[in-house]
A and B are shown apart, each in its own frame.
Chain A
Amino acid sequence: MNGEQLLDALEQVDEELLVEADRVRQRRKKARWPFIPLAACLCLVVAGAMIAQPWRSVPQSNSLPGKAESNQAETENGSVGVYVPPMEVPMEGDAQIEADLLSFFIYQGRLYVECSRAQNGAGLVGEKLGTSNGRIDEWTPDSGYVEGSGTAWGDFYAVNGYDPAHLLCMTWEDGTVALYWNNNDITVETAGDVLDEVFHMSGQVVKATMRGADVEDVAEISRLDDLNAWVEELCATPAQWDGDSPSEVLGYLYLENQDGVTVELALHEGGKAGIYGLGEVSFQLDWMPLTHWKA
């Protein structure tokens, strides 16, 4: 059998199924993720130490009935995803806090956090969209979190070929392109919502490196066809919230596509994978086969 025989056989699909499909095709849908104006209640996640900021709670209207405290959210089409709230941490300690602030800026009401860097990413830099004033630090009050502010200083740009609602970039003097991802106040249904829709990884990984818990235990993945099939499988895997029972990270996988965009995956015990920047969201998919595809 071949694909053309399948396409031909579809010509005889039952009439009522075609009528039903056609009805769906005539629909007009609203945008999936409504634009939410940014209120002055965002938080920072810092490496090494924590600083308190007020946070925005999960909108009750999006929560499933009886699950007001969970991160499950119902999307517009009725399916269930995991809501990733604005990152928040409790106050810990007082003075002498050495804060290593994440690099981020605010644009059109969305908070974009640095997620990766491309060494030869000149081709990624698109239209200039704005400038971040770099004025936010650990002492900035709520009122300072406004449009055009951020910890990062400088012009930011669209990323050629990528949706600016998800991904923007900044450039450094040495030519490095830093990618900034709007990774919070979003709902994730499957890994594909991130790996494919944001980072264009599905079927497009050209380089992959695996690292164990030991930083020196690094190996490149040689079987890219198998890897791409695994990534595609991952893209179809539903998101789950691990906040209540976090699992140990046993290794890391770094994916790079043909544009030079990279994504870091955390490989957890129990056959789960997480995406760097998504917090406690994981995807249940056995990653052990990856260990056999190393060069």
Chain B
Amino acid sequence: MEDKQIVELFWQRDPEAIAQSQGKYHSYLSKIAYNVLSDEEDSQEVVNDTYFRAWNSIPPQRPSRLSVYLGRLTRHGAIDRYRKRTSQKRQGDAYTLCLEELEACCGTAHDPQQILDAQQLAQAINQFLHTLKPQTRAMFLGRYYFFDSLKEVARYCGVSESKAKSTLYRVRKDLKEYLKQEGFDL
């Protein structure tokens, strides 16, 4: 079923919308959640929660790309759950690694006095991403949006792992410079 038709089911409050979403995107969403949480049970809970949140937000939302919409909900839910799971955080898991890599780029400041305009930051990041070549952008988003491992990023971009690592290193450096130029305090 096309995304448009599934969204229409949501609008009509037809529970078939959930079944169709599950059938089409369950493994896709499960991978996003698992990449962050590294736990099957937690991931499934987050994905099931995604369908619940979708049900409660469509309408009024009318997403054109259901995969992106559901993917965002799942990513958000997985990150939230990870942050609450303080006792089970593991060194070396995907979220921690990605966080460490990005912190090398922007620092670790948790200044309660600093009010960061999230919208401005998101806008700057989008502008920065548009300056990248498509393959480089796919590497960056694969790593820091989808939390894919370096090995996977290298595989689907058709490069060696070291090439992926060095490309991401360069992009993080460029992002740091870009954000500085845009006036962000790093």
Contact = CB atoms under 8 A, between A and B. Distances in A.
B163 A232 contact: no
B102 interface: yes
A92 interface: no
B158 A196 contact: no
A106 B47 CA distance: 50
A46 to B, nearest CB: 30
Given A2-B107, A11-B76, A197 B142 contact: no
Contacts of B161: 196-197
A5 interface: yes
B57 to A, nearest CB: 14
A10 B167 CA distance: 19
B146 A2 contact: no
A79 B76 CA distance: 35
Contact of B109 (A2, A11, A15, A25): A2
Main secondary structure of the interface of A (DSSP, over half): helix
A192 B130 CA distance: 26
A202 B168 CA distance: 13
A1 B79 CA distance: 18
Contacts, number: 158
B156 interface: yes
A7 B126 CA distance: 13
Interface string A8-25: 111111110111111011
- With most chain B CB atoms within 10 A of its CB, the pick from A4, A19, A76, A196 is A4
A236 interface: yes
Interface residues of B, number: 60
Given A4-B99, A18-B141, A19-B65, A24 B116 contact: no
A67 interface: no
Nearest to B157: A24
A21 B141 CA distance: 7
A1 B184 contact: yes
A206 B130 CA distance: 38
A21 B138 contact: yes
A292 interface: no
Contacts of A2: 103, 106-110
A29 B159 CA distance: 9
Contacts of A236: 166-167, 169-170
Given A1-B106, A2-B106, A192 B99 contact: no
Given A25-B148, A193-B163, A6 B102 contact: yes
B138 A20 contact: yes
Contacts of A73: none
27 contacts: A1-B179, A2-B108, A2-B110, A5-B118, A7-B144, A8-B118, A9-B125, A10-B141, A11-B76, A12-B119, A13-B129, A13-B141, A17-B137, A18-B141, A20-B134, A21-B137, A21-B145, A25-B148, A29-B156, A32-B159, A76-B158, A77-B158, A192-B162, A192-B166, A236-B167, A236-B169, A236-B170
Pairs of residues from A and B, 10 with the lowest C-beta to C-beta distance, nearest first: A192-B162, A236-B166, A196-B162, A3-B103, A24-B138, A12-B122, A3-B102, A77-B158, A21-B141, A197-B162
Given A1-B179, A25-B148, 11 more contacts: A1-B114, A1-B185, A3-B100, A3-B103, A11-B76, A18-B145, A20-B137, A196-B166, A202-B162, A202-B165, A235-B166
